[in-house]
Chain A
Amino acid sequence: GAVVSQHPSRVICKSGTSVKIECRSLDFQATTMFWYRQFPKQSLMLMATSNEGSKATYEQGVEKDKFLINHASLTLSTLTVTSAHPEDSSFYICSASDPNSSYNEQFFGPGTRLTVL
């Protein structure tokens, strides 16, 4: 199947700093990428949908000024958590749709564990 990478896998930062997470589709071009957040023992919550070359579409309740998304190319999307606070500590997962896959399914990255002190 298609491969999606994320970097970094883990990050610890101080409160008030900004953190950038990269999501790359390695062997396919992804016009659409998705960003999710997952708290312990809870499901994946969609934060935003990112389309190459256009502004991201945020889910209700997600602050677009706090979670900046840039989809600069067909293989790269970035999520920047600005002025991070301890409540932003979570597991952030990206996914990418491969239009050439059998079901146009989403392929998930390995996730980024963010801890804000």
Chain B
Amino acid sequence: GQNIDQPTEMTATEGAIVQINCTYQTSGFNGLFWYQQHAGEAPTFLSYNVLDGLEEKGRFSSFLSRSKGYSYLLLKELQMKDSASYLCAVRVLTDSWGKLQFGAGTQVVVTP
């Protein structure tokens, strides 16, 4: 099976920066996704990394090191609406399609 670990909860103040780490052990790695999920809603896509390095997308950036089995999601200039669960998901190749294995999610609480 796959082991995907991320912290359970993080708290930060509005305007600050928060970094959510994700470590994984997997075979058939085919990319790592970060999703945002508000309570009772579907996950929405934030970022994707398949090669080592940093991908920047506005206030959100994601980093990947395949050799270390490590990724992080960086949220800058935090806003209250960023309070949500952030899911790290590894795509693994199986047969002709790739399936996602999710971490348990990191609940980010943004305080005024």
**Chain A interface (Cβ < 8 Å from any Cβ of B):** 1, 4, 32, 34, 42-46, 49, 51, 57, 91, 93, 97, 102-111, 113
Interface residues of B in 34-87 (CB under 8 A from A): 35, 40-45, 48, 50, 87
Given A32-B97, A49-B97, decide whether A108 and B42 contact each other with a Cβ distance below 8 A: yes
For residue B24, CB closer than 8 A to chain A, the reply is no
Contact B87 A111 (CB under 8 A): no
Q: A44 to nearest B CB, angstroms?
A: 5
Interface residues of B in 16-34 (CB under 8 A from A): 31, 33
Interfacial chain B residues near A105, Cβ < 8 Å: 33, 45, 48
Partner of A97, one of B33, B41, B42, B97: B97
Interfacial chain B residues near A1, Cβ < 8 Å: 45
Docked Cα-Cα span, A91 to B64, in Å, equals 30
> How would you classify the secondary structure of chain A's contact residues: helix, strand, loop or mixed?
strand
Given A34-B99, A49-B99, A110-B41, decide whether A103 and B48 contact each other with a Cβ distance below 8 A: yes
Contact B43 A108 (CB under 8 A): yes
Contact A110 B42 (CB under 8 A): yes
Docked Cα-Cα span, A16 to B33, in Å, equals 38
Q: B36 to nearest A CB, angstroms?
A: 11
Given A103-B48, A105-B33, A105-B48, decide whether A46 and B41 contact each other with a Cβ distance below 8 A: no
Chosen A-B contacts, 26 in total, with CB atoms closer than 8 Å, are: A4-B42, A34-B99, A42-B105, A43-B87, A43-B104, A43-B105, A44-B43, A44-B87, A44-B100, A45-B102, A46-B100, A46-B101, A46-B102, A57-B95, A97-B97, A103-B31, A103-B48, A103-B50, A104-B98, A105-B48, A106-B100, A107-B45, A108-B43, A109-B42, A110-B42, A111-B40
Interfacial chain B residues near A91, Cβ < 8 Å: 40
Contact A43 B103 (CB under 8 A): yes
